[in-house]
Amino acid sequence: MGIFGSIWQQIQAMRWSDYFDIIIVAFLIYKLLPLFRSTGTSRIAWVVGVIIAVAWLTDAMNMHALSYIFSEILAIGLLALVVLFQPELRRMIDHLSNMKLADIFRKKHSQDMEPVITHTVRACETMSQEKIGALIVFARDNRLDEHFKNGTMIDAQVSERLIRNIFFPKAALHDGAMIVRDGRVAAAGCVLPLSDSERLNLDLGTRHRAAVGMSEVSDAVVVVVSEETGAISVAVGGMLKRHLAPQTLERLLRNELCPEEDDQEQTLEVKLVQKIKQSELLQKMKQNKLVEKIKQQKSKGGNENDHEK
């Protein structure tokens, strides 16, 4: 009871500002956690966590030499991190600078993205069959404003015909990337940063490296159609998923672009549709059984009449 009693006393001693402080810190942690999904940021967090853990262990175990070394490392650790992880830190700052306060509190609706996903999948399927290269970026929390400068602003409704016209081989904007933001085609012909990851295959071209690079510096979902093979790929969080079927592409885009808040409503709608279909099937089965019984009775009656004759 001593521990719980002391905790209860501290809770009673807290002021309203302390509660407000805790809520703000929790909210910031919740919003900053998605930043650590990228490989570069996770490397920074892992290195810092290991150094702090080892420094704490050496101090607790009274290992004076190691404790002195790690204390000095922590003293100059900020400068060392800036030097060693300059590209990753720059990407984090770019990501934070592009996030607006309105975007943090804005509620997204999956219904707005349903036609966008449908038209995108149809266009990618057609371009895959015709082996037309494409690079489509779906912006999420990161607004990608800095990439609009080297492209052409469009602000048009997403449609299969528009996507195919943009990436037509003789079109003026087919070499760059098309950026979709807020359910509309925001810009096209945009130049994306290339990934320098050593994990990528050497046979990947500029489009695929640009897709992975864009997914590394932002939370965007990038769709690629290969000009050589017609294969469809998706880059998310620095990872490239290759050779996707149109059905798999549609499922992946729905999972990434449709918010989780609307999943319950969608599942309820799906359950209702399934129940309606099941009831219709049951009625058809009952009708078929009745028809079969009538046919059997008629056939029996015909056989009895034949015997009587």
pLDDT of the residue at 242: 94
189/179 Cα distance (integer angstroms): 9
Q: Where are the domains of the chain?
A: 2-105, 110-257
pLDDT given at position 247: 95
Q: Which residues of the chain have pLDDT under 50?
A: 261-266
pTM for the model? 0.61
How far apart (Å, rounded) are the C-alpha atoms in residues 210 and 199? 14
Report the CATH architecture of 110-257: 3-Layer(aba) Sandwich (3.40)
CA nearest 222: which of 205, 206, 240?
240
pLDDT, one tens digit per residue, over 110-150 is 557 899 999 999 999 999 999 999 999 999 888 888 888 88
Three-state SS sequence of 54-109: HHHHHHHCCCHHHHHHHHHHHHCHHHHHHHHCHHHHHHHHHHHHCCCHHHHHCCCC
User: CB–CB of 167/134 below 8 Å?
Assistant: yes
Backbone angles phi, psi at 153, to 5 degrees: -70, 135
What is the C-alpha to C-alpha distance for residues 230 and 225, in angstroms, rounded to an integer? 6
Beta strands in 66-220 (DSSP E): 134-138, 152-157, 177-181, 184-190
User: What is the phi/psi pair of residue 70, to 5°?
Assistant: -70, -30
**Tokens for 227?**
């000009």
Residue 166 corresponds to which tokens in the numbers above? 């943009």
